[in-house]
Amino acid sequence: MVLQYRFWHFLFNPSSLTYALEHGDEYEKVHGYKRSLWILFFTTLLFFAVRNIWGMHTEGLTALLANGLDDRYQFARLISLGGALLWAVLFFVFHYFILTYMLHMLTDLPFRWIQTVQLYVILFILLEKVITFIVFVIAGYSTPLTFFSLAPMTAYLYQDEFLLYFLNQLTVSTVLAIVIQYTFLSQWEEDSKGALLLKLIGLQIVLALLVAGISILPIAEWIQRGLG
């Protein structure tokens, strides 16, 4: 028997996906899953590339162009584009493999089952980034804080880098990620749904704290000192 993986159908019918995964041994083949996986992966690469080509996160290279160092500027832009593509791969790997492993350790659910759910999480995180980028293109400039979080509003009241970066990680897509994960994973955790929800929320808070902590570190200065 062959299982036809339908990305959008399973998104809006989670019980169908959880049932199919539970009874995976009954299917000889699964058609459509790898195609959805690769489409999402290459869409991620394309988005990060387009964002870099537009100039997001390349502000530091403008000085080369202003000083007439065209060759160095073009080379730096190519390096920057390569870095953006590498960052896209790391983004995908983190959410599809590393975060899946964390959830696997927290819930004891099969790794492959959680990976399937993480595709939807990646989709909505990427969608949020695309919307943010479109707004930046229309505005003509970008900011380090996303309007999908409480960080911009908090910045008017309290100027603390760690707090702002922490809030900047807790966005609409973070809430959607928790909702998606809970909706699917709770199908297999009928006896401890409350504990599952606390684990999912706690994981997002811990990750936000880690990112905020790393964001305020003077990494650029450390690199310069090391090279100097």
In a domain, 115, yes or no: no
227 within some domain? yes
- Amino acid of residue 201: I
Q: Would you say 32 and 6 are in contact if contact means Cβ atoms under 8 Å apart?
A: yes
**Pairwise CA distance, residues 121 & 175, whole Å:** 10
Residue 28 has pLDDT above 70, yes or no: no
Range of the domain at 158: 143-228
- Kindly report the number of other CB atoms within 10 A of residue 73's CB atom: 18
In a domain, 68, yes or no: no
pTM assigned to the model:
0.89
pLDDT > 50? residue 225: no
CA-only gyration radius of the chain, Å: 20
Q: Render pLDDT for 163-191 as a digit per residue (tens, 0 to 9).
A: 999 999 999 999 999 999 999 999 888 77
Residue 216 has pLDDT above 90, yes or no: no
In a domain, 135, yes or no: no
Q: Give residue 25's pLDDT band: very low, low, confident or very high (50, 70, 90).
A: low
Percent of the chain with pLDDT over 90: 50
Q: How many independent structural domains does the chain possess?
A: 1
Distances (CA, A) of 194 to 111, 117, 186, 228: 21, 19, 9, 53
Give the pLDDT band of residue 143 (cuts 50, 70, 90): confident
CA pair distance 103, 196, nearest whole angstrom: 10
Decide: 49 and 84 in contact? Cβ < 8 Å. Answer: yes
Residue 205 inside a domain? The answer is yes
Q: Which residue has the higher pLDDT, 70 or 188?
A: 188
In a domain, 10, yes or no: no
Q: What is the mean pLDDT of residues 66-80?
A: 72
Q: Is residue 126 part of a domain?
A: no
What would the two tokens of residue 30 be? Answer: 């699964």
Please report, to the nearest 10 degrees, the dihedral formed by the alpha carbons of residues 38, 44, 46, 49 taken in order: -140
pLDDT, residue 73, reads 67
CA distance 176 to 171: 9
Helices (H), 55-188: 62-66, 70-93, 99-107, 111-139, 151-155, 161-169, 172-185
- Cα gap 81→51, rounded to integer Å: 9
Whether residue 203 lies inside any domain: the answer is yes
| Residue 228 pLDDT | 44
